[in-house]
Amino acid sequence: MLKALYDLAMREKLVSDPDYEWKPVAWLVRVDANGNLLGIQGTHYFPQAKTKKGPKPIPKSFLVPRQPVRTSGDQAFFLVDKAEYVFGIDPSKQRDPKRLRRRAELFREETRRCAEETADEGARAILTLLSAVAEGHLTIVLPEDCAPNDLFAFVLSSDEDELISSRPRIRERWKRVRQLEEGTSGGHHCLITGHPSTPGVLHVQLKRLPGASTSGVPLVSFNQPAFESYGWSGNENAPVSRPAAEAYATALNRLLHPAWPDPEQPGVALPRRSTTLSNDTVVCYWATDRSADVFLDDLDALFQSDPAKVERLYQSVWYGRSVKELDLTAFYALMLTGTQGRAIVRDWLESTVGQVQRNLAQHFADLEVVRNTPRPKERELQPHVPLRVLLRSLAPLGDDKRLPAGLAAQLVRAALAGTPYPLGLVQRAVERWRAESALPDRTKAANDWWRAMERRDARASLTKAVLNRRRRTLPEAQSRYKEVTRAMDPTNTNPGYLLGRLMAVMERMQQLAQPDIKATVVDRYFAGASAAPRAVFVRLLKGARHHAKKAKDEPQTRGTAQWLEHELDQIAFPFDPKHNGFPAFLSLEEQGLFVLGYHHQRHVLWMSKEQRTNWLASLGRSAQEGEAAELGSES
C-alpha cells in the first residue's frame, strides 16, 4: 500500500522538490528591502465547486519549506508559520502572552540564522521587520477574518508573488539543513525503497481525513509500548526513510484534497480522487496510468450519483452492461477512517481498471429494483439509489453519524471487488425497516415523508443485491430461495416473500376501508410479522376480512376491494390460514425476502392502469387479468 502511494507521488511529481511542499497560505506579508511593512494581503478565492450554502473562500496554495511534524512543544517553522509564531499574536486571544513571546522569539531566531548564513536580502528584510515588532517600534494589526491556523508567508516587493522562502540561496540553505537532520541510517533500511533510512522518522500528518483532528493524524505511528517489538522504539518498528515517508503521505494528502494543485500546471488542480462515505470514513482510489483518468473521474460520479457526470455512463457501467475490453491498468482503493489519534485502514484493494468496471456493472445490476419513491418535482429519479443514500438508509433516520464505519467500507469493497456483500447489510436493513415502518405524515412533513420513502427504496435495493449475490456464490443458498427479480415475481413461493406481499395487500385494504387512519397494520405489526408470522397473521387476516366487507359496501371502492380480496386469498392459500399454517419464525434471509415481497407488492398496488398493463405484458399475461380493479396511483 505504501509503495503504491509512493509510486503515485513519483508519477504525478508531487515531490519533485522533496524539501518543499504545497500548503495553503492565507496571508502574504509584503516587505521592501529595508524591512518596511507594505501590507498584509489575503490569498483567498472562491473555488468552482459550489455547495448548497454557496462556495466558501479558501486560501491559495504555495510551495513552502517542508516542515517536520510539530508535537505539543514549541517549534517554529522556517519562514512560514501561524501568526502566534510569526508575530507573537494569537487571533483567538487565548494563548498565554509569555508563551506567545517565546514562540515569536523562536521564529525570529530561525530567521536570524538564515539571514546570517545566506546574506539574502529577503531574509534580512524579514529579520528587520520582526525585530521592529519585538522592540515595540511597529505594531501589527492582523486582518479581521484571520483564523488561528492561517499560515503567513513573506514576499519581497521586488519579487512580485514569489515567496522569500523560495529564493535561490534560501532554498540551498534549507536543503543543507534537511540533509543534516536526516542523519545516518543506523542499520535500518526503508520498507518502501529498500535504501538506508534514519530510524524513528516521524511520518507526515494526514489532513482532511473525516473524523480526524483538523491538525492532522499519522497513518503510521507507534505511541504505546504494546505496538512495539524487538526492543525498537517508536517508528523504528516500521523503518521508512524520510523522503519515502514524505512522498507517500503527500500522495495520500493529495488524494484526500478536493483540489490539489497540479505541480506541472500552475493554477490548475489535479482531479479529485476520493469520496466521503460517512462522517468519519473515506475511500481514496487511483490507477497507475493516466489512460484511466476518464474512468476515475466517472467513478466519483457513480458514487455521488451526479446526473451531469453519469450521463455518459448510461450505456456502460451504470446500466450494468459488460465491458468489451478488459483494461489491465492497475487500480487501487484505500478506505480510511479518521479518529482523533490516528488513521485507521478499513480496507485495501488491488485490482485492474477493467475488472473494477465489470464489478461495478454487476453491482448496479444487482441493486436495480422498482422504486416506490415518487418522482421529485421538475426532475427525474436517478436510475439507481446513490451510494450515500444506500448507506444513510442503514442509519437511524438517515443520520450517517450513527452508521458503523466498517459497514460503509464493506459495501464499497463488495462493489469494487465483486465479492459477496456482508449479510449484516440485510440484518441492518431489516432492523431499520422495523424501526421506521411508520411513515411521517405526508401532509405535515412532506420532505420527511419523501426521504423516508427514499430510504425504503434503498433498503430494498441493498437487500436484493445481498441475497442475489449470496445465491450466486453460496451453493447452499440456491436451495433456500430463488433469484429475486427487479419487480414483483408472482412465481416466487418463498414463505418470506409471500408474507411480505400479503402484508402489503392487507395494508392497502385497510387504507381503502379507512382512508383517514393514522396507524396502519404496517405501522403496528411489521416488526412481529417479519420475524414471527404465526403469532401475528391470523389476527391480521381477520382484520383484513372486516376491512374488505366495509370497502365492498361503498360503490366507489367495491371493485378495488374485490380485487384485493382475491389477491389476499391467493397469497394466503399456501399457508392454510384456517389452521394457522404460517411459519413460526423467519430466518434472516427470509426476513429480507419479506421486505422485498412487501416492496414489490406495494409497487403493484399503486400502479396506474397503463403501468399495470405493461407489467402484465412483461409477464406474458393479458391486460384483462389486471382489470379487476381501477387502482389509484400515488401522486
Neighbours of 358 (CB within 10 A): 17
How distant is the alpha carbon of residue 22 from its chain centre? 25
- What would the pLDDT profile of 215-242 be if each residue is shown by its tens digit? 788 888 887 777 777 777 777 778 888 8
Q: What is the pLDDT of residue 54?
A: 61
Q: Which long-range contacts (CB under 8 A, 24 or more apart) does 269-276 make?
A: 270/12, 271/296, 271/297, 272/300, 273/300, 275/299, 275/300, 275/303, 275/304, 275/387, 276/210
Q: What is the pLDDT of residue 578?
A: 87
Task: Tell the burial category of 553 from Cβ atoms under 10 Å away from its Cβ (0-12, 13-18, 19+).
Answer: exposed
Terminal alpha carbon distance of the chain? 51
Nearest to 178 by CA among 260, 263, 241: 241
CA distance 519 to 439: 9
What are the counts of helices (DSSP H) followed by strands (DSSP E) for the chain? 20, 12
Q: What is the pLDDT of residue 268?
A: 85
Q: What is the pLDDT of residue 294?
A: 85
Contact (Cβ atoms closer than 8 angstroms) between residue 533 and residue 583:
yes
Whether pTM exceeds 0.95: no
How distant is the alpha carbon of residue 114 from its chain centre? 44
For 251-298, the DSSP string reads: HHHHHHSTTPBPTTSTT-BPPP-EEE-SSSEEEEEEESSGGGHHHHHH
3-state secondary structure at position 553: coil
- Torsions phi, psi for 387 (to 5 deg): -60, -40
Contact (Cβ atoms closer than 8 angstroms) between residue 600 and residue 487:
yes
DSSP type of residue 419: P
**Amino acid occupying residue 508:** R
- What would the pLDDT profile of 268-315 be if each residue is shown by its tens digit? 889 989 988 888 899 999 999 988 888 888 887 777 656 555 455 445
Contact (Cβ atoms closer than 8 angstroms) between residue 29 and residue 155:
yes
C-alpha angle 434/367/394, rounded to 5°?
35
Please list the residues that pair with 275 across neighbouring strands: 283
State whether the Cα torsion 396-397-400-402 is positive or negative: negative
- What would the pLDDT profile of 340-386 be if each residue is shown by its tens digit? 878 999 999 999 988 888 888 888 889 889 998 887 776 677 767 88
Nearest to 408 by CA among 382, 438, 388, 379: 388
Q: What is the pLDDT of residue 633?
A: 36
- What would the pLDDT profile of 436-473 be if each residue is shown by its tens digit? 988 888 888 888 898 899 999 999 999 999 999 999 98
Taking 80 as the threshold, does the pLDDT of residue 124 lie above it? yes
State whether the Cα torsion 130-131-134-135 is positive or negative: negative
CA distance 358 to 351: 11
Nearest to 593 by CA among 604, 601, 581: 601
Q: Work out the pLDDT band at 185, boundaries 50, 70, 90.
A: low
Question: Strands, E, within 419-483: which ranges?
Answer: none
Angle, helix 537-552 to helix 495-513, in steps of 10 degrees: 40
Taking 50 as the threshold, does the pLDDT of residue 32 lie above it? yes
State whether the Cα torsion 309-313-319-320 is positive or negative: negative
CA distance 630 to 509: 14
Q: What percent of the chain has pLDDT over 90?
A: 51
Residue 259 corresponds to which cell in the numbers above? 483540489
Q: Work out the pLDDT band at 248, boundaries 50, 70, 90.
A: very high
Q: From residue 184, how far is each of 199, 241, 275, 569 by CA, in Å?
A: 8, 11, 40, 84
For 80-103, the DSSP string reads: -EEHHHHTS--TTS-S-HHHHHHH
Q: Work out the pLDDT band at 262, boundaries 50, 70, 90.
A: confident
Task: Tell the burial category of 278 from Cβ atoms under 10 Å away from its Cβ (0-12, 13-18, 19+).
Answer: buried
**Amino acid occupying residue 206:** L
- Torsions phi, psi for 283 (to 5 deg): -115, 130
- What would the pLDDT profile of 572-620 be if each residue is shown by its tens digit? 999 998 889 999 999 999 999 999 999 999 999 887 777 777 767 766 6
Task: Tell the burial category of 182 from Cβ atoms under 10 Å away from its Cβ (0-12, 13-18, 19+).
Answer: middle
Contact (Cβ atoms closer than 8 angstroms) between residue 526 and residue 496:
no
Higher per-residue pLDDT: 168 or 241: 168
Contact (Cβ atoms closer than 8 angstroms) between residue 431 and residue 463:
no
CA distance 88 to 97: 8
- Torsions phi, psi for 394 (to 5 deg): -95, 0
Taking 80 as the threshold, does the pLDDT of residue 58 lie above it? yes
Q: HSE of 500 in the Cβ direction (CA atoms, 13 Å)?
A: 33
CA distance 264 to 266: 6
Q: What is the pLDDT of residue 635?
A: 30
Pairing of strands 27-31, 151-156: parallel
- What would the pLDDT profile of 305-345 be if each residue is shown by its tens digit? 565 554 554 455 545 445 455 678 999 999 999 988 789 99
Contact (Cβ atoms closer than 8 angstroms) between residue 545 and residue 537:
no
Please list the residues that pair with 153 across neighbouring strands: 28
Q: Which long-range contacts (CB under 8 A, 24 or more apart) does 578-582 make?
A: 580/534, 580/538, 582/499, 582/533, 582/534, 582/537, 582/538
Taking 80 as the threshold, does the pLDDT of residue 51 lie above it? no
Higher per-residue pLDDT: 466 or 621: 466
Mean pLDDT across 172-178: 92
CA distance 7 to 247: 9
